[in-house]
Amino acid sequence: MRIILLIAFATMATACAGRAPAPVAIVQPQDRFMDCAAITAEAQANTKRVQELGSEEGGKVAQNIAAGVVGLFIWPVWFAMDFQGAASKEVAALQARQQYLGTMAEQKGCTTAQPAPVPPPPPPAAGAPPTPLTAPKPTTPPARPIELDCIDPDGTKLRVIGTTCPSPSTPA
């Protein structure tokens, strides 16, 4: 009887370890209304989220290693180990979404002008004073997408996420 209770307790305890993954949907309802600026803004937000999840995943690996070592001496600590891999599943979903956004941007004819890498300055000549480096000119970031209420010519109301209403719609 004790063994059955112990197995039941262990199962319940391991079910609570870590967080459940919440992967992003690859195709979303507002995609058909997104313009180039909205696609770029979401791609940048997704890139930032992937970096955050990478840090979280590294932390979970370290936590699992520590719990595994401590668990050799205090076995209940093993129940605190995270076996759900939420961060890696979410990263995979975000990467698939990024690929879809890239395809969508290509279909809409969006140009993604990425700044060229800045070459390193040439080494100063012997005895010459160092040349000052000039700071790059600041660029204006793309408009952040917002939730808009739009009205089609036939009177249908739309709620879109973007920077403008899709034509021939007008803002409500």
Average pLDDT value for residue range 58-79:
79
d(CA 172, CA 161): 14
Answer whether residue 106 is part of any domain.
Answer: yes
Q: Please report the pLDDT score of residue 44 as a whole number.
A: 92
Burial per residue of 9-18, b for 16 or more beta-carbon CB atoms within 10 angstroms, e otherwise: eeeeebeebb
Answer whether residue 96 is part of any domain.
Answer: yes
Q: In the beta sheet, which residues pair with residue 157?
A: 151
Q: What's the pLDDT tens digit per position in 126-160?
A: 554 554 445 455 555 556 667 677 777 777 777 76
Enclosing domain of residue 54: 24-110
Answer whether residue 123 is part of any domain.
Answer: no
Q: Please report the pLDDT score of residue 58 as a whole number.
A: 78
Q: Please report the pLDDT score of residue 133 as a whole number.
A: 47
Assess whether pLDDT exceeds 80 at residue 163: no
Q: Please report the pLDDT score of residue 145 as a whole number.
A: 65
Answer whether residue 7 is part of any domain.
Answer: no
Answer whether residue 115 is part of any domain.
Answer: no
Total domain count, the chain: 1
Average pLDDT value for residue range 66-75:
81
Q: pTM to 2 decimals? A: 0.51
Answer whether residue 80 is part of any domain.
Answer: yes
Cβ-contact 34, 42 below 8 angstroms: yes
